[in-house]
Structures are given as structure tokens and as C-alpha cells.
Chain A
Amino acid sequence: MFSLLLVPVLLVNLTRVQVVQAGRYNGNPANQRAVLARYSQPRGDIVVGGSPVTGSRATGGVFDYLRTYTDGPLYAPVTGFSSQTYGNTLLEGVEDGVLSGTDSGLAVHPLLNAITREQVPGGKVLTTINAKAQRAAFAGLGGKRGAVAAIEPATGRILALASTPSYDPGGLAGTGPAVTADWAALTGSATQPMLNRALRQTYPPGSTFKLVTASAGLMNNVYGGIDVPTHSPDPYTPADTTVPITNENAADPCQDATLLVALEVSCNTVYGKLGDDVGEAGMVRMAQAYGFNQTGQTIPVGVSQSVFPTGLTGQAYLALSSIGQYDTAATPLQMAEVGAAIANDGTLMQPQLVSSLTRADGTPVRTFKPRVFGRPVSAPVAAELQQMMVGVVSSPLGTGGNAAIPGVTVGGKTGTAQNGVGNSGTPYAWFVCWAKPSGAAVAPVAVAVVIEDSNADRADVSGGGLAAPVARAVMQAVLNG
């Protein structure tokens, strides 16, 4: 009978809907099933130093569970937020598959799971963060606007990632008017509390960039050593301009200064001229060896691109770029990488925020080993740079005395980056450093600090004054274990 043909017709159509086009329907953004499934079980935790910094709470609502955070503002630059309304960011976003249990690597019996459709419990993300360093960074920044990035030079493990002002991601978990109000307040705030300044904001690095310029000069052996007079005038006027480059203080001993002394007192004239002497190609090559101009960097969270300009139209611009001004821009993490590479005898390790991913029961499914990013400078040059940085902290003329720790070798570099049109904005205070206990083979920590404090008096803003104490606190936290 004709009507019995209807059965195969229906079955063919059902196969179309349930098998052939199922993926398309399942993936439709208007299909809430994925979201419902995601929140039908507790989310896996993000772990710092063995303790979870996240949690899950049963709601009794449409979504069974929502995210909670212990010390939300402290770890927000690491965890990001997990919101039923606004999605997931940072580690919550990048490692969402593991945390929500959908990552294929989590299932113990993938085929069996595919058939039974039993939900796999969310896995854990173990971070490289050192809780004490993280707290020290936040405490040091206090109410000021700024960021800290700290790295273990030998491995690239990120020890601290702070950004202030911060926010509590717990306020964004879930749905409803409280969440939307919180979101509106956070996104509307002039201080941008949700901006991850350590990873996602670039600043002119100012004098801290002289570390890169010094690296280029030494690798190219432009002046024959760190103790050789550089034959540089004070002020220095590049060949294609009439505007001279001056130093912060005219009394600084910058004329014909050695590279060592010029770094200690932070001579713009010497390092601007050095950049011109190295040439654009050499400067760009060195900056890129340290990680500048790198697109799509992930740790695995995405990091904004730090920039050293290419295709400069003249020596004046190259000189300015070489002292961290003009179009040079760096994230705090990038400057921490510069410090870490120097401290690690010239080898730059890939920065990593995640040490391993595990199942809910703790069985590792992926462990991250240290990886080399590159060797921007040779070991002897790294040693010279270390010596110069130690001078910045310990020499009587040095600008970084505030970072000194008794009984520990500390190398640093201050920076006071001019900001705004015609330097109208308040400068950014920078400090890049590392610390090595006596007898240690390699420094266990490198730190970059930036403070953008619009409330400070112009004269008080300096890397040594504002940023170095913060960096010192972070280094001490790591050293004291």
C-alpha cells in the first residue's frame, strides 16, 4: 500500500535531521543544549600551588551550577571569568574544554562515553602561578593602576600575573539582573578593571628597552665592550633632525659614558646613538629575538603583540625607538621576558601559565615541558648585561637602588616612559629585574612592573621610585619560597 511508503520516507527524513544535519543543529548558537549540558555539572577547578582558586555552586535554577572564586580579584588576571551570560575569558576560556569536561582527552573510555553519553567530570587546570608572588604583586600595586609579570627564567613558568585595579569574576557568574548590572559597572568604569594589563596592554617601555638596545650593541660589538667610552655627545642630535635628544638630568655623566655607566644612570643620549649605530636591521632583529613583533603569542592565553617599529623613515625615529619611545610598545610580560632571557644566560624560554591539565581525579592528561623560544644573546653578552643590571641596583649612581635585597644579587633596569601628545600624560613607571641568591646558578625570578599612576606628582614618577619596591616585594616572595 501507498501509505506504507510513508515509513521509509519518514525514516530517511529522520536520518537527515538526526544524523546528517545533526552537527549543524547541535552547533546552532540558538540551541541551548550545549549551554545546559555545560552547566549541568560542577566545572573543573583552576589550581594555584595545589589549592583551587575556583569553585562551583549549585544554583537550583535553569543552570545547575555556577562558578565561584576564592580571592576573585587576586586571580582574575589569571582565571578570567566564567559567566552563563557573558561567556568565558582567559584560562576559563582557553581551557574551557578541560574545565567543562568536553575535552576529548579527559574521557577514560572515549568510545564507551560516546555511546552512554555519560558526562565526563570537568578536569583541572594547574597553573604555574606562585601564590606568594601573586599576593606580593597585588599588595605592591595596591590602589595604583598597573601590572606585574614575573617569570622563572630557567623554565618560562609565569610566577605572577597581576593587574590593578582588578575585579571579582564571581560577580559575573550566572545570569540575572545582578550579573548584568555588575557587567555594566565593570565595562563602564573608566579604570577598566577587566583589562588584563599584564598581557593585553602595551606601554612605551621607556628606558627598560635600553636592555634590548644594549644587547644589540654588544652582540654586534659596536663599541668593543661595556667599559669602553662610547664617544657619544650630550645632548645627541641624530643626523636627520635638529631636535636634540637629552637626558633626564643634564648633570648626569652621560657624555662619552661607557655602556655600563650609561645604563646605570639611564642615558638617553648614549642609547639613542647606540640604536642609530647598530642600525635599524640590527635593532629589529634583536627586538624580535626577544619576542617583539610576534603575532599570536599564547601562554596559552593570548598575549597582545609588543612592537618595535620597522620601516622607520629616519635616524631620529630609530634613536627614539631605541630608548623605548616613539612607536615602541611592550606588554609587561614582554619586558619580563627580556629580563628573564638575560638572567637565564641568554636563553629565552617560552612563557607558560599552565603546568598541566588533569582529569577530575588528578590524573594528568597533558603536562607542559619548558620550551626554548630562542637565544637573543650569547652567554658572554648575557653575563655583561647581568653585570650592567646589577650596577643599576647596586652602584651609587644607579637608578634602581630601591630594588636591592641584602644578601641577594639583584639586577634591574628602571624606566620612566613618556606618555601622551607632547609628553602631556603622566609617565609610566617601569622596573625590569631579576634576583639571584648568592651561590645559585641561575636567577629563580625575573619581574617586570609597570605603574600608570595618574594621581602621582609628575616629579615623583620614576621607575626606581614607584615600580622598584613592588618588584622587590615580588622577588622576595619567590626567594623566601
Chain B
Amino acid sequence: MAAAAAVAAPQPGTPTRRTTELLLVVLAVLIAAFGYADVGWAIDGRVPADTAQYGAGLGGLALLAHLAVRLRARYADPLLLPLAVLLNGLGLVVIYRLDRATGTSSAPSQLLWSALGVLLFIVVVLLLRDYRVLQRYAYVFAFCAILLMIVPVFLPAVYGAKIWIKVGPLSFQPGEVAKIALAVFFAAYLASNRDALALTGRRIWLIELPRGRDLGPILVIWLISSGVLFLEQDLGTCLIFFGMFVMMLYVATGRTGWIAVGLLLVGAAIVPVALFEPHVHSRFTDWLDPTRTIAAGQGAGQLAQSLFAFAAGGLLGTGLGQGHSSLIGFAVKSDWILATFGEELGLVGLAALLLVYAVLVVRGYRAGIMLRDPFGRLLSIGLASLLALQVFVVAAGVTDLIPLTGMTMPFLAQGGSSLVTNWMLVALLIRTSDAARRPEPPLSPPPEQPPLDTEGQTQGVPKV
């Protein structure tokens, strides 16, 4: 195919930045290995014997991922993979550190999940040659997402929330994967309907409101995410689904009215649940007064313990391995892992961590902005927003800025489904950024563009 050949041949002088990526990946692995050694040094006074194996494991995975990118996405953004490796590696360090405090052994299984995540990353990078294929299966993704979210409702609740599928010792959080499926669906739907959503409607006072019939699909999404909230008591997923949707809607239409509508709808969904559903209600009361249980003589609750941990870290932290965040107890490696980070690396470490996430998100946005096809643009921005929202909801939750949602910090927290999902998310961003940075063919655009990126063609194509 002539077009493919033209695309594959780079313009002379257009850098691929693959060597930059390799160097950054090596740096990320070294940082993580150093952290691992530091934990052992702080606790035992010597470097852990398996530091080399651990570094080699993470490094091997990272190199495989890098090779996949070098092979099949040579123009991809060179920051995405190193940042993901760094976050995954830091997560392993902190989980190992908490293993030492709690006498458990979760780091090896987390390393296994990392391997699975990287494997899926490689599969996506290698096999998904053109992300626009996904647009075709938009409704398949929507159907899968809803199915994944609904199944746990019929299963017993785990830890007070019905978001788990438990098979023997393995537990899986289908909502995590559903997020990506929904992002794909939203991107496809909005890419097709953005004009109707953007150009019609009426202006009330300062904000332009959409037409009633354009509101329909949005209300459906709202109902689904609220349903998730009601049935599964999963505040976080509700917030993130809806937040992502509103953000993509805003990007697709450029109308602030959508944000107003979105906020109203979120409020309408959350307020009654917060008032009347006990599991969510207790999170709201904890949020309003984290030291409530102390005053009641019941000792510090998890949120109070988390705040104690952050406060103990202060500006510079106590140093890896030298905090007491294990006092938080249950879920300290997943929901509350940021508290350990905050206690042992301090405000400075957290700021650096948040900036790592921010750069990852910005790079996702950047890929979206550079892309010309609406689906790819919305997909990149949706995925990046997904990451941004989840980081915000978790970080703000454990520091008492917003009510706790029970979600996990992307890449950092213990949990296979989350880790695997986030590796797939990064793989998709690698694909879109590769398309975004791929240089134009040297001459005029190829005569035959694949018809997928033009509007109308994909509109309502339910190829189930």
C-alpha cells in the first residue's frame, strides 16, 4: 500500500526520540532500584539481596516494552513509557516497604501483575496498528463496559462495595477495565455527534444550554453511572465516569454549558446517596470531621491515620522505610498507599510524584491536540483525563479534600486489575501519540485516506 509506505518513511531530520526514551527508561528503572535498596538499607541496615533481581525484572519488562515501541510505534511520545515504568517501579518499592512493615509479601505478586500489564501493553502496541479501528466497535465497547460494571452487582459485596469479582484467591475489579472501554465509546460517540451537541441549543443567561434531545444520551450515561453508584456503592467510579464524560463533552463541543449541566447531574446523583446510603454516608461524615472517631473514644479512623501519616512526613519526609503509615491498617497498600509516600518522602516527594502524573497527563493531552481526527483527539484526551481524575480523586480523598472514594492510585497501588488497565491506557496513548507525531508524507497527502476518520461514516455503526 502506497500510503502506508509513505507514512512509514520518516522525513529526514524528524527525530523519533527512541534513544531518549531508552535512556529515560533506564533512569526510571535505576530510580526504582535505588528506592528498593534504600528501603532495605533503612530497615535492615543493608541492601536487600534481591535488589539486582528486582531491578533486572523491572528493567527487563521495561526494555521489552521499549523494544515493542521502537518496533511498531517509533514516533510515539518518548516520555509516556519511562513515566509509566517509573510510577510502576515506585509502586513496587512502596509495596515492598509496606510488606516489611506488615509481614506480608505482596511485592512479588505485584511484580507478576506488572509483567502481565507490560505484556498487554506490548500486545496492544504490536497488534493495534491503527487505533481508529476501535471506533468501529464503539458499541461493543459500551456493551462490554456496562456488562463489566453490572456483573459484580449480583455478587456479594467485598469490603463494603460491590465492585469485585472474586475467583478463588484472585480478585478482579471489572470497573477498572470498563473505564477504558467507556472512554473508547465516548470518544466514538462524541466524534460523531459533536456538531449537533456544539451548534444547537439556546442561551440562558450566560451559559448556552444544549437541546433537550441532545441531552438524552448524556442522561443515559448519567443514569448508568448513578446506577453504578447506587448498586455498587462506588462513589469513585461514578465520579470518574461522569467527570471523564463531561470533560470529553467539553472538548468536543467547546461549550461551558455542559460543565454546568454535568456538575448539576453529579450533584443530583451524589447528594441522596451521601445522605441515605450508610457506606457512602460514613465517608461523607469522615470527610467533614476526620477526627470524629477520636472524639468518640474509638481511636483514629483510617482517614485520620492517613492525615497523621501525611503530617508526620512534613516537608521532607521521614525517609523510605522509616515511617509508620502501617498504622492505617487495612488497604494501606492500595487505597491509602499515597499516605506512605507522603510520610516517607514528604511534601517534596509528593509534589514530584504529582508532577510525574501531570507530565503523563499533559503528554496525553498533547497527543490529542496534535491529532487531527476527532476520535483520536477525544480518545487521547479522554484517557488522559481518566488518569488525571483518578489521581485527583484518590489524592484528594486520602488528604481530606473530598470524600474518600475507595479508588487506587494509578500504577502505584497494589492491585492487578488497576495496574493492567493503566498499562493498556498508556499503550493506547503510545498509539495515538505515535500517530500524532508521525511526520506527514513528503509530498501531498495520499490520495486515499482510510475512510475511518471522516465523520458520518462511523455514525451509529453497531457492528456487533
A interface residue numbers (CB < 8 A to B): 1-4, 6-7, 9-11, 13-15, 17-19, 21-26, 28-33, 36, 115, 117
Contacts and interface: CB of A to CB of B under 8 A. Distances in A.
B403 to A, nearest CB: 14
B247 A17 contact: no
A17 B311 contact: yes
A4 B358 contact: yes
Interface of B: 247, 250, 291, 294, 299-300, 304, 307-308, 310-316, 318-319, 322, 324, 327, 342, 346-347, 350-351, 354-355, 358, 361-362, 365, 384-385, 388-389, 391-392, 395-396, 399-401
A387 to B, nearest CB: 63
Q: What secondary structure prevails in chain A residues at the interface with B?
A: helix
Given A13-B401, A14-B347, A36-B324, A7 B300 contact: no
A10 B393 CA distance: 10
Given A3-B361, A33-B324, 11 more contacts: A3-B247, A6-B392, A11-B347, A19-B314, A22-B310, A28-B308, A29-B294, A30-B291, A30-B299, A31-B312, A36-B324
A18 B396 contact: no
B392 A117 contact: no
Contacts of A10: 354, 392, 395-396, 399, 401
Given A18-B310, A26-B308, A115-B316, A13 B396 contact: yes
A30 B324 CA distance: 13
B445 to A, nearest CB: 29
B311 A22 contact: yes
Contacts, number: 104
30 contacts: A1-B365, A2-B247, A2-B250, A3-B361, A3-B388, A6-B388, A7-B355, A9-B396, A11-B351, A14-B399, A17-B307, A17-B400, A18-B313, A18-B346, A18-B347, A22-B310, A22-B312, A25-B307, A25-B310, A26-B308, A28-B291, A28-B294, A28-B304, A31-B308, A32-B327, A33-B308, A33-B327, A36-B324, A117-B316, A117-B319
Contacts of A9: 392, 396, 401
B354 A21 contact: no
Contact of A19 (B307, B347, B354, B395): B347
Given A13-B401, A22-B314, A31-B300, A3 B308 contact: no
Contacts of A21: 311
A212 B342 CA distance: 64
B63 to A, nearest CB: 30
A28 B290 CA distance: 12
A182 to B, nearest CB: 24
Contact of B362 (A4, A17, A117): A4
B340 to A, nearest CB: 13
Which of B314, B315, B361 is the most central at the interface, judged by chain A CB atoms within 10 Å of its CB?
A: B314
A32 B324 contact: yes
Contacts of B346: 18
Contacts of A4: 358, 361-362, 388
Contacts of B312: 22, 25-26, 31, 33
Contacts of B294: 28-30
Contacts of A19: 314-315, 347
A24 B310 CA distance: 12
A26 B304 CA distance: 11
A463 to B, nearest CB: 50
A117 B310 contact: no
A3 B308 CA distance: 28
Contacts of B304: 28, 30
Nearest to A10: B395
A3 B385 contact: yes
Contacts of A31: 300, 308, 312
A358 to B, nearest CB: 27
A126 B313 CA distance: 35
A19 to B, nearest CB: 6
A7 B358 contact: yes
